[in-house]
Structure 1
Amino acid sequence: MKLPASLLLAAVLAAPLLSTAQAPQAPQAAPAPSDAPAAAAPTQAAKPDLAQGEQRYTAVCASCHGPAGNSGAPANPKLAQQHPEYLIKQLQEFKSGKRPSPIMQGFAAQLTPQDMQNISYWLASQQLKPGFARDKQAVALGERIWRGGIADRNIAACAGCHSPNGAGIPSMYPRLAGQHADYTADQLIAFREGKRPNSPQMTQIAAKMNDREIRAVADYVAGLR
């Protein structure tokens, strides 16, 4: 059956319009889900929770480092009143292996970044129990090195970084005042021998010191207030 000429002409004229209307559209980007994370907003670490820090410290650290961070064992450092930034850095480096210690790496592996922050700031809020020097002759040598360095070997005075009273400089250099002499000496020897490689500056300094000088400085540090 043939269509009338008028209807056939109308169909021909309409064809381009229909093909345009039915042409596929360029794909649109799918809307981001409502719970998608914001792209450019910087995030800040949560504030330290001291109560959680005390709880976590008691569970993980207190058996070696003592109540409130005052270790009674000369081989284990006192942590009370230490700068929190320094403690966080050491825990991170124990966990990563940058500061080798099989024992501490195992403990640090249990801690989240928030745990490290909570513990470190709680320890910083605790009062350090003072220590005592033991050898009067060694103390005299230790004080000279601490305050004036060793000029003929280009060893700078320890006080330049750790302050005259051993309080250190927050976020840069640790507090050493009152620390166990045995622990301080062991760390200086570890720096000297390359067993503690996480501070090139201390490695260079300790490399120039002999055992007598190291023991003298460590003993002097123990008695600083």
Structure 2
Amino acid sequence: MKRKMLLALAAMTLAGSALAAAAPVGKGDPVKGKQIVDQVCAACHGADGNSVASANPTLAGQHQKYLYSQLKAFKAGTRKNPIMMGMAAPLSDDDMWNVTAYFSQQKIKPREAADKSLQALGKKVYRVGNPVTGVPACMACHAPNGAGMPDQFPRVGSQHAGYILKQLNDFKAGTDRQHPTMSDVASRMSDAEMKAVADYISGLR
């Protein structure tokens, strides 16, 4: 079982490296990015990237290459979301770098976990995983404080619990989101574990 856990972590590292390699290096212009954000993105994600609705992810402080890779995926249709696919369609490559440069430089607003009764299980899954079912510790890739790893794994700390939970369910279902590593991890998690870890993550900072 220990060997399986190590293999799973190795696979996650390789997957993250591949994702980083897929996105070219680019800096972008946050001033130009803000113009697009104000016109297109702010209604759902907030003018500073801190969304108020749990259905819309907070993008402030997210790693630029991760945001860029997701916009590319929406535009290509490899990540399924009708609204975001439509929003990404007219964006040029420079537009995407500019928007992601702006969001990545914004300060994320920390939030508190909503359900204290879920914290014990959520903390266990996030920090230790579940060796019995082969669920690796989330912090191995997303860091103990949820900050992720630049160019490899996204920031998850202070994200809406409802959004995190939906993404885990989507990975598990393999419909709107498909990623070999995350789909495998989510498929091993119970509904209770997903709900608890999502709530725990929302309080990380």
Q: TM-score, normalised by structure 1?
A: 0.79
SS in 1 for 2:48: helix
2:188 is matched with 208
Q: 2:29 aligns with which of 37, 49, 65?
A: 49
SS in 2 for 1:152: coil
1:129 is matched with 109
Q: List structure 1 segments (4+ residues) > 2 angstroms apart after TM superposition.
A: 44-47
Q: 1:168 aligns with which of 131, 134, 148?
A: 148
Number of aligned residues: 182
CA deviation map 1:51-88 (0-9, x unaligned): 00111111111111012100000110000000000000
Task: Check if 1:158 corresponds to 2:158.
Answer: no
1:193 is matched with 173
Amino acid at match of 2:43: S
Q: How far apart, CA to CA, are the structure 2 residues paired with 1:79 and 1:45? A: 19
CA deviation map 1:88-147 (0-9, x unaligned): 000000111100111100000021111100110111100001111111121110000000
Q: 2:83 aligns with which of 103, 108, 111?
A: 103
Q: How far apart, CA to CA, are the structure 1 residues paired with 2:51 and 2:169? A: 21
1:78 is matched with 58
Instruction: Looking at secondary structure, tell me which structure has more helix per residue.
Output: 2
TM-superposed CA distance for 1:161, in Å, is 0.2
2:49 is matched with 69
Q: Percent identity?
A: 46
Amino acid at match of 1:187: Q
2:70 is matched with 90
Contact 2:41 2:47 in 1 (8 A): no
CA deviation map 1:143-189 (0-9, x unaligned): 00000000001111000000000000001100000000000000000
Q: 2:93 aligns with which of 99, 113, 118?
A: 113
2:21 is matched with none
Contact 2:122 2:200 in 1 (8 A): yes
Contact 2:157 2:202 in 1 (8 A): yes
Task: Check if 1:144 corresponds to 2:109.
Answer: no
Q: TM-score, normalised by structure 2?
A: 0.86
TM-superposed CA distance for 1:46, in Å, is 6.5
Q: How far apart, CA to CA, are the structure 2 residues paired with 1:100 and 1:108? A: 12
Contact 2:142 2:155 in 1 (8 A): yes
Amino acid at match of 1:125: Q
Q: How far apart, CA to CA, are the structure 2 residues paired with 1:101 and 1:152? A: 34
Amino acid at match of 2:117: Q
In structure 2, runs of 5+ residues without a counterpart are 1-23
2:197 is matched with 217
TM-superposed CA distance for 1:196, in Å, is 3.3
2:6 is matched with none
